Structure 1
Amino acid sequence: MQGGPGLGLLATALLFGVTTIVRWVAGPSPVSAAIPRAHEELLVIGACVGVLLAGLILSPAGKVSGGHINPAISVAMWRFGLFPGAAVAPYIAGQLVGSLLGTLAGLAAWGPVVGRPPIDDTSLQPGIGWSTGALFAAETASMGIIVLLVGLFVAVPRLAPLVPWLVGILIGAAIALLGTTTGGSVNPARQFGPAIAADRLDYLWVYLLAPMVGALLAASLRNALLHQRAGRARTGTGGGVAC
């Protein structure tokens, strides 16, 4: 498994794709005119981003790099024992650099409209009334659920091939369900480039750190569940996690 150019390309493609999708679905366009409500826009954006993400993971570059476009997933895969710890920092660096490059590419392609509301370079902000603590808890929990499900799937040979689509569905659902509250980031790389480009740094540390905390907690829980299941299988008592 190698990162290198393939990894940066994936992150760049993801953020360019996200910028493009948000520009046409939420920005001034015939598409946005046909979708009058924000919740419906988020549903369309979530579906499009989910398909894009699954496609990138399944692409040749995704297969070479392992399909990590999310620093929290890289950390989780390390804690699952499926990814070398020495590669985590280089992967995260590549993901963040690719995020910024993809955002800048989207800005260059679509012009000033990307830098104006409701686009703002696709940077995310929590909804009105959300405190920093509540946002941190929500992003932690959201990423934790995703990592736990992904971790259980990768542990089962017949389910592991479905992981790219599982990730796409879960991220798409997070966007659709959480977009008007937390912003629905659940990916530090998703927020890094847009926040830097739009100079909206107030909550950036939360969007960067909370998913990592969620990934670590969920990975520990997943490992404990699988260890418990393995122990019961050895003693012949049955039960455990159905995975």
Structure 2
Amino acid sequence: MAFATRMTQALRQNWRHYLVEAGGPMAFLTVSSLAAVVFHHPDSAAARALGPQEWVQRVGVGLVVGLLIVVMAYSPWGKRSGAHFNPAVTLGFWQLGHIGTADALWYVLAQFVGALVAGFGVVWALAPWFGHHLIHHNTTQPIDATHGWALALGAEMLISGLLMLGLLGSLHSAQGKKWTGALAGLLLAVFVVVESPLSGMSLNPARTLGTAVASGEAAGLWLYFLGPLAAMWATAEAYRRYRQRRPPTERPPQYPDAAAQ
């Protein structure tokens, strides 16, 4: 009963934060799906102008996605919630005590709901172009090769760990804190260009679930949960132990409900 009360209280106090966390995946999936069509579909003028090389087209997608992350992180809405937009990021911050349990659960629920809504929306709106094999409904899938699932899992764990490490390093630095959003955008842009041929570059279980459910293409769905969640949790725990050996010179960043729970 006490837990239900805490959940209800958190919803009453911080529902605006949860709407932001739902809106983040919605915006990401919508914009990244449009970018995938614009830069990859053979009928697109932008794709024809960039030429047939997929890595060049991925640069266009990466720039759009990276800029979107920066805009969302520095927007008043992103600042309100902390701009997690990702259940794996929320798990990592929860492990560090930067967000309380009730808020973390609401964050994750909101992120999945937002991604599912956007997933069905873009599959419906972009139907004439979305099913092309170069876009495959903007889903994230392992490469079609022997042990492709293992390669995709390892790649997802690597980029997820790098993202979490970058976020924690900048957030706990007096000089680097203001650059956290820019760093996140830069990392995602690089990952889109370099890593996406291996796994589709998810980093985010909610993002993957949104288009997978809407399109009915859920190959290897489990690894897009296991990889980011395990890597970000492990990175956060390793960082916590590292910080225990080096006491912080300033209070760590706080998110809603962190002090209360």
With structure 2 as the length reference, what TM-score do the two structures score?
0.83
Q: Find the partner of 1:11 among 17, 22, 25.
A: 25
* Equivalent residue number for residue 229 of structure 1: 246
Alignment pair present for 1:87 and 2:103: yes
State the 1:80 CA deviation: 2.4
1:140 Cα shift?
1.3
Q: Does 1:57 align with 2:76?
A: no
The corresponding residue for 2:59 is 43
Which is further off, 14-23 or 185-194? 185-194
| 1:123-153 deviation line (CA, Å, top 9, x unaligned) | 0222232432332222112201111121111
| Partner amino acid, structure 1, of 2:162 | I
Q: What percent of counterpart residues are identical?
A: 24
Partner residue in 2 for 1:96:
112
CA offsets per residue over residues 51-98 of structure 1, 9 Å max, x none? 111111222221222211111111111122211122222211111111
* 1:150 has 2:167 as partner: yes
Question: CA separation in 2, counterparts of 1:26 and 1:40?
Answer: 10
Residue 118 of structure 2 contacts residue 210 of structure 2 at CA under 8 Å; is this kept in 1?
Answer: yes
Aligned to 2:6: none
Asked if 1:33 is matched to 2:33, the reply is no
> Is residue 197 of structure 2 the alignment partner of residue 180 of structure 1?
yes
CA RMSD of aligned residues (A): 1.8
For the pair 1:207 / 2:207, whether they are aligned, the reply is no
Q: Deviations over 1:133-187 (max 9, x none)?
A: 3322221122011111211111112211111111111111111101111222111
Regions of 4+ moved over 4 Å: none
For the residue of structure 2 that corresponds to 1:194, the secondary structure is helix
Query: Does 1:113 pair with 2:121?
Result: no
SS of structure 2 residue aligned to 1:230: coil
Contact 2:166 2:184 in 1 (8 A): no
- Distance verdict in 2 for CA 1:131–1:107, change over 3 Å: closer
Is residue 127–residue 182 contact of structure 1 (8 Å, CA) maintained in 2? yes
Paired residues in the alignment total: 232
Q: Helix, strand or coil for the counterpart of 1:90?
A: helix
Q: Distance in 2 between matches of 1:30 and 1:92?
A: 38
TM-score relative to the length of structure 1: 0.88
Q: 2:92 aligns with which of 76, 86, 105?
A: 76
Of 160, 163, 188, which residue of structure 1 is paired with 2:177? 160
Where do 5+ consecutive residues of structure 1 fail to align? 234-243
> Per the alignment, in what secondary structure is the counterpart of residue 180 of structure 1?
helix
Q: Any conservation in 1 of the 2:40–2:57 contact (CA below 8 Å)?
A: yes
Deviations along 1:197-224, whole A, 9 cap, x unmatched?
2211121111122100000110011112
- Give the secondary-structure state (helix, strand or coil) at the position aligned to 1:210: helix
**Structure 1 letter corresponding to 2:17:** G
Find the aligned partners of 1:131 and 1:118 in 2 and give their Cα distance: 18
Which amino acid is the alignment partner of residue 187 of structure 2? Answer: L
Aligned equivalents of 1:115 and 1:55: distance in 2? Answer: 29
Task: Give how far 1:109 is off.
Answer: 3.2
User: SS state of the match for residue 172, structure 1?
Assistant: helix
Q: Give me the whole-angstrom Cα distance separating, in 2, the residues matched to 1:166 and 1:56.
A: 13
Q: 1:138 aligns with which of 125, 146, 155?
A: 155
